[in-house]
């Protein structure tokens, strides 16, 4: 079993190339640095650490921990936690269960040892992290991470500059790791940085995006995105594009080639943002999610595209746990955590985080930085209820304006509660089924700080009392009095099937009128219906006589 666990751990290290990366530079000027949302996220991440690392299902998750360190650096005030991460990462870089290299075992019993594997993207990630945290890249806790990256580079042929794994499980190095290697080598002023950059720029497709996977054949003459194909295709990848942007943007004195690559990638990525601020992931995660939205928004914030960054920040904020006493959920103990997507948030509110801890940690670590661009607000929510009467048992829409963009809201009506969040403009619409009975119902909304109320007039089932003479001479008028209506309630009076009167009840809910019964001798029904005819009516039958 020990060998099986070590094999799995090595696989995790090899596959964690997309989900476990880090860029560490001072953030560009944000809209609301140190916002409560950013603080809550950073505090939650800090609380998830065990001796300086995230531990998921018994395995140390160095990659996601590095992401968390970046988030904590942006928020500030977590020096002790970051220091513990720096120490813990350094202790887990290399060895039998290392992050950059590890022992590898067979997939099937008896899980025989195969080789010691070396992983390019984790090495590049560790190099950038070491540089950002002031560690010696040639001796980070005694480990030469700079040398580890250089050892993972191809130095001859058409793939010169390309990073590659040395692993029995295959080569999972990709464009994200290439971008990290490029930045790390550039910041180390290493001579191999240019070849790494040259190969990275070949991975940008003519549309502007960066593909995730390299050309499968390392010996192929054409290693470019549009000429050489990665597993037959070069699909667009928003995550890879955002992450490459974040790395290239940190290179000092960028060349015209770098500036052109940034401009083209930024233009393509801007067109991928949905109206609500979110971004879909790549082909395997083609739904709006916090990881992609957080990365893209973060990149836009660093590049000065604050409008796009703010919209992304609001979408992420809508997926952050914001406990409200009025609307309790199973997530209330996880204040600040960020859900991967709508489904994850819904499941978490119902059942808590449970076994999806890794997903919550990764989404939170990657999406937290964009909260640095969350729009600030000094206003408070204002609640508007539907005007006029509304029918009991039907759904009514309540509108909120002036709320904090992305902020949590709780609407309450009696014992019913509906949770939601504000849009980028600070608005929200809540649908709620109105309870039975006739009453002026008090509705409230709270953001946890301010509570506002409104009233909706609800009409329930009612049988009106209709008074009229039992006998009326033909050609004459019957005096009719109706009671039991609501004040100023709309009504319609019919004689048989013919509408003979429309109007509004008095302030006391009564109607008095005369109805001409006609000359035909018969029994005829005088029916009065209220604002909602299916549930509010009354009738009286009269006989027309000579």
- The share of the chain scoring above pLDDT 70, in percent, equals 93
- SS3 (DSSP) at 147: helix
Q: What is the pLDDT of residues 171-223, one digit of tens each?
A: 999 999 999 999 999 999 999 999 999 999 999 999 999 999 999 999 999 99
pLDDT of amino acid 286: 82
State the average pLDDT over residues 138-152.
98
For the chain, give every domain's residue range: 2-373, 382-459, 462-545
pLDDT of amino acid 4: 31
Phi, psi of 286 (to 5 degrees): -85, 55
Secondary structure (H, E, C), 13-52: HHHCCCCCCCCCCCCCCCCCCCCHHHHHHHHHHHHCCECC
Please provide the size of the chain in residues: 546
CA distance 451 to 445: 6
Decide: residue 343, CB within 10 A, 0-12 exposed, 13-18 middle, 19+ buried. exposed
Tell the residue number behind the tokens 């393509």, with chain if given: 268
CA distance 465 to 530: 12
Q: What is the pLDDT of residues 86-137, one digit of tens each?
A: 999 999 999 999 999 999 999 999 999 999 999 999 999 999 999 999 999 9
Q: Under CATH, to which class is 462-545 assigned?
A: mainly beta
CA distance 280 to 287: 5
Q: What is the pLDDT of residues 156-175, one digit of tens each?
A: 999 999 999 999 999 999 99
Q: Kindly state the helix (H) or strand (E) to which residue 390 belongs, with its residue range.
A: strand 389-391
Q: What is the pLDDT of residues 262-292, one digit of tens each?
A: 999 999 999 999 999 999 998 778 899 999 9
- The share of the chain scoring above pLDDT 90, in percent, equals 89
State the average pLDDT over residues 60-69.
97
State the average pLDDT over residues 303-307.
97
CATH of the structural domain 2-373, one choice from 3.40.630.40, 1.50.10.10, 1.10.10.10, 1.10.260.30: 1.50.10.10
pLDDT of amino acid 57: 87
pLDDT of amino acid 75: 87
Can you read off the two tokens belonging to residue 463? 């049988």
pLDDT of amino acid 230: 67
pLDDT of amino acid 2: 33
Tell the residue number behind the tokens 């609800």, with chain if given: 458
* CATH, domain range 382-459: 2.60.40.1930
pTM: 0.89
Domains 2-373 and 462-545 share a fold: no
CB 65 within 8 A of CB 49: yes
**Residues 6 or more apart whose Cβ sits within 8 Å of residue 234:** 205, 211, 213, 225, 226
pLDDT of amino acid 231: 60
Phi, psi of 6 (to 5 degrees): -65, -40
Can you read off the two tokens belonging to residue 88? 């813990």
Q: What is the pLDDT of residues 311-360, one digit of tens each?
A: 999 999 999 999 999 999 999 999 999 999 999 999 999 999 999 999 99
pLDDT of amino acid 215: 94
Decide: residue 309, CB within 10 A, 0-12 exposed, 13-18 middle, 19+ buried. buried
């Amino acid at each position: 079993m020990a060998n099986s666990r070590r094999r799995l751990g090595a696989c995790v290290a090899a596959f964690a190339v997309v989900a476990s990366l880090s860029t560490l530079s001072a953030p560009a000027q944000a809209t609301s640095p140190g916002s409560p949302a950013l603080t809550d996220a950073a505090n939650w991440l800090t609380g998830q650490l065990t001796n300086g690392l995230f531990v998921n299902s018994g395995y140390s998750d160095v990659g996601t921990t590095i992401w968390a360190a970046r988030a904590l650096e942006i928020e500030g005030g977590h020096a002790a936690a970051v220091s513990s991460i720096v120490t813990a990462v350094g202790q887990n870089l290399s060895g039998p269960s290392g992050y950059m290299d590890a022992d590898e075992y067979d997939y099937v019993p008896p899980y025989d040892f195969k080789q010691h594997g070396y992983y390019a993207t984790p090495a590049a990630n560790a190099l950038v992290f070491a540089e950002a945290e002031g560690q010696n890249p040639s001796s980070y806790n005694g480990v030469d991470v700079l040398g580890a990256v250089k050892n993972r580079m191809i130095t001859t042929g058409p793939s010169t500059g390309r990073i590659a794994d040395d692993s029995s499980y295959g080569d999972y190095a990709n464009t994200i790791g290439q971008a990290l290697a490029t930045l790390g080598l550039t910041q180390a002023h290493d001579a191999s940085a240019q070849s790494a950059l040259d190969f990275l720029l070949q991975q940008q497709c003519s549309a502007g995006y960066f593909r995730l996977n390299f050309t499968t054949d390392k010996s192929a003459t054409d290693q470019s995105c549009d000429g050489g194909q990665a597993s037959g295709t070069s699909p667009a990848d928003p995550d890879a594009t955002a992450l490459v942007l974040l790395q290239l943007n940190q290179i000092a004195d960028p060349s015209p080639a770098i500036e052109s690559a940034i401009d083209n990638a930024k233009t393509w990525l801007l067109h991928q943002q949905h109206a609500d601020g979110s971004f879909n992931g790549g082909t395997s995660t083609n739904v709006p999610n916090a990881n992609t939205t957080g990365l893209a928004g973060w990149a836009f914030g660093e590049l000065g595209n604050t409008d796009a960054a703010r919209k992304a920040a609001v979408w992420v904020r809508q997926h952050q746990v914001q406990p409200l006493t009025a609307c309790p959920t199973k997530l209330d103990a996880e204040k600040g955590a960020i859900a991967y997507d709508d489904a994850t948030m819904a499941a978490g509110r119902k059942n808590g985080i449970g076994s999806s801890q890794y997903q919550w940690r990764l989404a939170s670590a990657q999406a937290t930085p964009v909260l640095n661009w969350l729009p600030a607000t000094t206003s408070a929510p204002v609640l508007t209820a539907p005007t006029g009467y509304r029918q009991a048992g039907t759904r009514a829409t309540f509108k909120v304006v002036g709320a904090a963009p992305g902020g949590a809201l709780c609407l309450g009506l009696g014992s019913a509660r509906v949770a939601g969040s504000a849009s980028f403009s600070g608005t929200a619409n809540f649908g709620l089924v109105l309870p039975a009975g006739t009453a002026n119902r008090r509705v409230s909304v709270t953001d946890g700080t301010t509570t506002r109320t409104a009233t909706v007039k609800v009409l329930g089932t009612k049988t009106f009392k209709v008074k009229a003479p039992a006998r009326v001479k033909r050609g004459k008028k019957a005096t009719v009095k109706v009671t039991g209506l609501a004040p100023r309630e709309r009504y319609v009076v019919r004689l048989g099937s013919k509408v003979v009167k429309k109007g509004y009840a008095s302030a006391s809910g009564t109607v008095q009128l005369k109805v001409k019964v006609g000359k035909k001798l018969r029994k005829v029904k005088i029916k009065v219906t209220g604002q909602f005819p299916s549930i509010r009516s009354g009738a009286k039958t009269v006989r027309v006589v000579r």
